[in-house]
A = this chain, B = another copy of it.
Amino acid sequence: MNMRKEVCIDSNIEGNMQKKACLGIDIGGTSVKLGLFDLEGALLEKWSIPTNRERNGAEIIQDIAASVNRKLYERKLKPERLTGIGAGVPGQVSEDGMVLLAENLGWQNVPLGRELSEQTGLPVRTENDANLAAFGEAWKGSARDCHSMMFVTLGTGIGCGIVVKNQILTGVYGTAGEIGHMHVEDRMPVPCVCGKYGCLEQLASATGLRWMGERALEQTMEPSLLRNEKVSAKTVFEAAGKEDRVAVQIAERFGKYLGKALADCTCLLNPEMIVIGGGVTKGGQIVLDYIEKYYRQYAYEPFGGTKLRLASLGNDAGIYGAARLIMMDKTDTF
């Protein structure tokens, strides 16, 4: 923890004090991550609290408020010295801070912005968590100083946030960046959670890699390192790194689905950079290499190529993006 002394402000100073810090919060289904930032964007301290999903997450907001208030008290930091709270939610949020739907929290029509503001005395701005993770990577991560970027998260599913000229692209109903539901396979025998067949996240997420792996092992008698252990994104890329033929085939398929889908995204958006993160990328550079191989084959880039990079902020991308959100004057979503 990098605690800067200048943020521990004398609590006796009164009046219209200069702002010194802000909070970035990332509300997840298991835990809520919180970060205290100075206004240059340095992370002063981060901590987390468990997400209490009981009774449709009825306690979550007051748990967050209590944790924030305790931290400010510990640090002798008056609310007046904070710009406010930025908060990311795993779901759909309206511009006025109303969470329309966040299934992982059990929330439907929860006035997060208003309640968190009332319980902390701080201004609150809210946004979808994938968008804020992108905002974080665009601000302080791999896509720093980029004109435009997509941040693709390969986890259980596939999420994506888009930032163009420091603005989050949300779409008219907040579903911009839902590339996990691009259609990539006509012959998919099982349905996606969305009800359609052949969505990108059925094949190129951690879940998809496991599904492809288990299926490949069933369909061939070929020996494979994957027969000795649980098939997962991790074991597939480890085995592919050792030239295991079955694993290489799965990794190639993964790379083709994702590389081609991202090439199509480049046709539409022409971003300066595509940042790839999430659990699947714990496999490291080899994951990116399989994606980039097919991306370059399909991408239309007559005047210059989009850079593909691994994410650099890890699990902190969301709190960085949330802090950035509350620091900005205007509404930087469009």
Residues of A within 8 A of B (CB): 92, 100, 146-148, 160, 162, 164-165, 167, 169-183, 194, 196, 199, 260-261, 263-265, 267-272, 298, 300-304, 306, 334
Q: Which of B173, B182, B199 contacts A270 (CB 8 A)?
A: B173
A164 to B167, CA, bound (A): 11
Q: Max chain B CB contacts within 10 Å: which of A173, A261, A265, A271?
A: A173
Contacting residues, chain B, for A263 (C-beta < 8 A): 182-183
| Contact, CB under 8 Å: A194 / B300 | yes
| Contact, CB under 8 Å: B176 / A169 | no
Instruction: Name A199's closest neighbour in chain B (CB-CB).
Output: B300
On whether A264 and B182 interact (CB within 8 A), knowing A147-B172, A172-B271, A270-B176, the answer reads yes
What's the nearest-Cβ distance from chain B to residue A184, in Å?
9
Instruction: Name A147's closest neighbour in chain B (CB-CB).
Output: B172
Q: Which of B171, B183, B304 contacts A148 (CB 8 A)?
A: B171
Q: Max chain B CB contacts within 10 Å: which of A194, A261, A268?
A: A268
Q: Max chain B CB contacts within 10 Å: which of A92, A164, A175, A261?
A: A175
| Contact, CB under 8 Å: A302 / B268 | no
| Contact, CB under 8 Å: A269 / B169 | yes
What's the nearest-Cβ distance from chain B to residue A270, in Å?
2
| Contact, CB under 8 Å: A172 / B272 | yes
29 residue pairs from A and B, CB less than 8 Å apart: A92-B303, A160-B268, A167-B334, A170-B270, A171-B269, A172-B270, A172-B271, A172-B304, A172-B306, A173-B302, A173-B303, A173-B304, A175-B270, A175-B301, A175-B302, A175-B303, A176-B268, A178-B268, A179-B267, A180-B267, A181-B300, A182-B264, A183-B263, A183-B298, A194-B302, A196-B298, A268-B268, A268-B269, A269-B269
